[in-house]
Amino acid sequence: MSRLIVVSNRVSVPQAMGAAGAQGGLAVALSAALREHRGIWFGWSGKETESFTGHLDMQRNQDVTTATIDLEPQDIEEYYNGYANRTLWPLFHYRIDLTEYDRNFGEGYERVNARFADSVLPLIEPDDLVWVHDYHLLPLGSMLREKGVTNRMGLFLHIPWPPTRLFVSLPNHEQLVASMLQYDLIGLQTEEWLDSFTHYLKKEMGLKVSDDGVIEYEGRRIVARAFPIGIDYEEFVASARTELAQGAYQRLKDSLGHGRKMLIGVDRLDYSKGLGERFDSFDRFLTDNPEMAKDVVLLQIAPPSRGEVASYQLIRHDLERKAGHINGAHADVAWVPIRYVNRGYPRAELAGFYRAADIGLVTPLRDGMNLVAKEYVAAQDSEDPGVLILSRFAGAAPQMEDAVLVNPHSTEDVSDAIRQALHMPLPERRRRHERLLASVRDEDVVRWRENFVGALRGEHGAEVPLDAR
Ligand code: ADQ
């Protein structure tokens, strides 16, 4: 079996089996793949260094080998806070109004990708498969090719691919996409993002793309396909059964008081998650349904992220103001409508919280996939499951049509959905949950990585052409 070299911006190996901390199932899933393939996970340590040395910190943790490098403050500012999170992230989430174009960001992005390429190069052996993750590292494959790497290389993009009309606002867009075409396999989360990507290739670059996603470029064939990511179902269900989860469930239930229903939102504090719109919708629900208002509570858990970037400071400020305003307008001595918590929790506790919630409110304005929707479903008690309210703009929506699908921009739509969910009869809740659970269980993260790695290897009918190079 070929070794696997995984490259991502950050490297996070779970501290102990079954307890991935707040890192999410991806760390668990990739670690499992790396253990199986005797691979290496390479990326940025998250640490700063005065001046870049390229020193590789190699460690072995839970049977996974990691290799990390430190970056200079200017690298972090231009590559991570700059091009990745002020240019690509907002643009790829259709937020052209928040997108900043700065030549220094672009140069920093190229420089850090070149540093990644130089540092990972000595780790790559002839038969290794190289699997690169996400928008931070789009040109990495082409830089490795320039250094003579002929291994099979795949890229998986965790976020949406924007419509061509938006994407072309990126200076040097063609150069960026041309560099991506040095991979053998390009994976996107959904058919929608795949369609946007191939539309760009055809319309802007005049390339031929077959119905099964084979792109012809400079005499080579590259495959682009959708690989919807899932959660680590087994790990999540196991963590939901732990004492920590039971304790979290009970504590939360007790705090609600008799007969009160709870809605839960769990998101990184990010403008793409539609938190402001969600608070407005809940406000509207309270105003339009005064007879039910005091019987519901919204628990919103939102750990801050990317605090160096101004748009994230603004959204944080805005949400604090909104939560304060809504609570001020509606609260009573024994009831506060929104519990707004800015911290992360261990996955087991999170599972207990999900289970205690009658409604999972997942309303991103745009999301590559959204794993919270899947975790909410996996954590429910099948006998008495809660209802998932899901944005139709989440990548997860096409797989989760048994959720109550909403337009997160419409406070009326979301408010109606909350009322519908609160009144939903038990048989309907069970019916919807059963179908949702089947897809969350069957299309899990193990299947996702097996499909991706299998395609990269050229299995399943040699989807990645064996004559690639
Ligand atoms: P994210 O934008 O981070 O991921 P998401 O898919 O929802 O979004 O994953 C968040 C993860 O963080 C979940 O596993 C969740 O449990 C965890 N998390 C969130 N808040 C937490 C808290 N307070 N405490 C502990 N854990 C918390 C990106 C893309 C998504 C895509 C994923 C995976 O933006 O669209 O689904 O990658 O590909």
Contact 229, 448 (CB under 8 A): yes
- In this predicted structure, the answer to whether residue 430 has a pLDDT above a threshold of 50 is yes
How far does residue 172's CA lie from ligand 1's centre (Å)? 30
The arithmetic mean of pLDDT across residues 379-400, rounded, is 98
Residue 14 pLDDT class (50, 70, 90 cuts): low
Verify that 218 and 261 share a domain, yes or no: no
User: For residue 463, is it within any domain?
Assistant: no
- Give residue 21's pLDDT: 41
Verify that 284 and 407 share a domain, yes or no: yes
Verify that 149 and 193 share a domain, yes or no: yes
The arithmetic mean of pLDDT across residues 7-27, rounded, is 63
Q: What value does the mean pLDDT of the chain take? A: 93
Verify that 61 and 170 share a domain, yes or no: yes
CA angle 245, 21, 5 (to 5 degrees): 135
| Residue closest to 330 by CA, chosen among 277, 363, 284 | 284
- Give residue 2's pLDDT: 85
Residues paired with 277 in a beta bridge:
none
| Catalytic residue chosen out of the listed positions 133, 136, 158, 330 | 158
- In this predicted structure, the answer to whether residue 227 has a pLDDT above a threshold of 90 is yes
- Alpha-carbon span 333 to 325, nearest angstrom: 16
Verify that 254 and 296 share a domain, yes or no: yes
User: Within 10 Å of residue 434's Cβ, how many Cβ atoms?
Assistant: 12
Nearest atom within ligand 1 for CA of residue 158: 38
The arithmetic mean of pLDDT across residues 38-43, rounded, is 93
Q: Whose CA is nearest to atom 21 of ligand 1?
A: 344
- Give residue 465's pLDDT: 61
User: For residue 468, is it within any domain?
Assistant: no
Strands 261-266 and 359-362: parallel
Residue 24 pLDDT class (50, 70, 90 cuts): low
Q: Whose CA is nearest to atom 37 of ligand 1?
A: 158
- Give residue 61's pLDDT: 80
Dump pLDDT digits (tens) for 279-291: 999 999 999 999 9
- In this predicted structure, the answer to whether residue 168 has a pLDDT above a threshold of 80 is yes
Calculate Rg over the CA atoms of the chain: 23
Contact 436, 400 (CB under 8 A): yes
- In this predicted structure, the answer to whether residue 122 has a pLDDT above a threshold of 80 is yes
How far does residue 22's CA lie from ligand 1's centre (Å)? 9
How far does residue 231's CA lie from ligand 1's centre (Å)? 10
Q: Whose CA is nearest to atom 20 of ligand 1?
A: 267
Q: How many residues does the chain have?
A: 469
Is 384 known to be catalytic?
no
Percent of the chain residues past pLDDT 90, beyond the cut = 88
Q: In total, how many domains does the chain have? A: 2
Verify that 150 and 196 share a domain, yes or no: yes
Residues paired with 390 in a beta bridge:
362, 405
Residues in CB range of 362: below 8 A, 6 or more apart:
265, 370, 372, 373, 376, 388, 389, 390, 391, 394, 396
Q: How much of the chain is helix, strand and coil, in % rounded to 5? A: 50, 20, 30
How far does residue 363's CA lie from ligand 1's centre (Å)? 13
* Count helices and strands in the chain by DSSP H and E runs: 19, 16
Nearest atom within ligand 1 for CA of residue 189: 38
Selected residue with higher pLDDT from 24 and 251: 251
- Alpha-carbon span 83 to 87, nearest angstrom: 5
- Alpha-carbon span 355 to 365, nearest angstrom: 24
ipTM entry? 0.98
- Give residue 464's pLDDT: 61
How far does residue 275's CA lie from ligand 1's centre (Å)? 14
Query: Domain holding 356: CATH number?
Result: 3.40.50.2000
How far does residue 223's CA lie from ligand 1's centre (Å)? 27
Hey, what are 264's tokens?
């839960």
- Give residue 19's pLDDT: 39
Q: Whose CA is nearest to atom 3 of ligand 1?
A: 268
- Alpha-carbon span 98 to 216, nearest angstrom: 34
User: For residue 132, is it within any domain?
Assistant: yes
The arithmetic mean of pLDDT across residues 282-301, rounded, is 96
Q: How many CA atoms lie within 13 A of 279 on its CB side?
A: 24
Verify that 204 and 274 share a domain, yes or no: no
| Catalytic residue chosen out of the listed positions 367, 413, 416, 444 | 367
DSSP string, 399-445: G-TTSEEE-TT-HHHHHHHHHHHHH--HHHHHHHHHHHHHHHHHT-H
Q: Return the minimum-mean-pLDDT range out of 13-17, 138-142, 145-149, 390-394.
A: 13-17
Verify that 142 and 245 share a domain, yes or no: no
Residue 25 pLDDT class (50, 70, 90 cuts): low
The arithmetic mean of pLDDT across residues 255-272, rounded, is 94
Nearest atom within ligand 1 for CA of residue 25: 14
Match 């038969």 to its residue by tokens. Answer: 127
- Give residue 63's pLDDT: 79
Domain range holding 110?
A: 4-230+452-457
- Give residue 18's pLDDT: 39
Dump pLDDT digits (tens) for 127-164: 999 999 999 999 999 999 999 999 999 999 999 999 99
- Alpha-carbon span 451 to 170, nearest angstrom: 31
Q: Return the minimum-mean-pLDDT range out of 20-34, 306-320, 444-458.
A: 20-34
User: For residue 106, is it within any domain?
Assistant: yes
Ligand 1 proximal residues by C-beta, below 6 Å: 22, 24-26, 158-159, 229, 266, 268, 301, 303, 344-345, 350, 367-372, 375, 395
How far does residue 24's CA lie from ligand 1's centre (Å)? 7
- Give residue 462's pLDDT: 46
- Alpha-carbon span 241 to 309, nearest angstrom: 38
Mutate to test the pocket of ligand 1, among 95, 315, 372 (most ligand atoms within 8 A of CB): 372
| DSSP class of 85 | I
- Alpha-carbon span 92 to 260, nearest angstrom: 39
Verify that 75 and 149 share a domain, yes or no: yes
Selected residue with higher pLDDT from 460 and 253: 253
User: For residue 110, is it within any domain?
Assistant: yes
Nearest atom within ligand 1 for CA of residue 394: 35
Q: Whose CA is nearest to atom 19 of ligand 1?
A: 267
- Alpha-carbon span 167 to 159, nearest angstrom: 14
The region that residue 21 occupies, defined by phi over 0 for left and psi between -120 and 50 for alpha, beta otherwise, is left
User: For residue 462, is it within any domain?
Assistant: no
How far does residue 369's CA lie from ligand 1's centre (Å)? 9
The arithmetic mean of pLDDT across residues 300-311, rounded, is 94
- Strand ranges in 285-343 using DSSP code E only, listed in sequence order: 296-301, 338-341
- In this predicted structure, the answer to whether residue 22 has a pLDDT above a threshold of 90 is no
User: For residue 76, is it within any domain?
Assistant: yes
Verify that 255 and 187 share a domain, yes or no: no
Percent of the chain residues past pLDDT 70, beyond the cut = 95
Verify that 293 and 383 share a domain, yes or no: yes
Residue 20 pLDDT class (50, 70, 90 cuts): very low
Nearest atom within ligand 1 for CA of residue 26: 33
| Residue closest to 350 by CA, chosen among 14, 17, 25 | 25
Verify that 226 and 308 share a domain, yes or no: no
The arithmetic mean of pLDDT across residues 254-264, rounded, is 93
Phi, psi of 187 (to 5 degrees): -105, 135
User: For residue 100, is it within any domain?
Assistant: yes
Is 367 known to be catalytic?
yes
- In this predicted structure, the answer to whether residue 254 has a pLDDT above a threshold of 80 is yes
| Residue closest to 388 by CA, chosen among 375, 398, 379, 377 | 377
How far does residue 26's CA lie from ligand 1's centre (Å)? 9
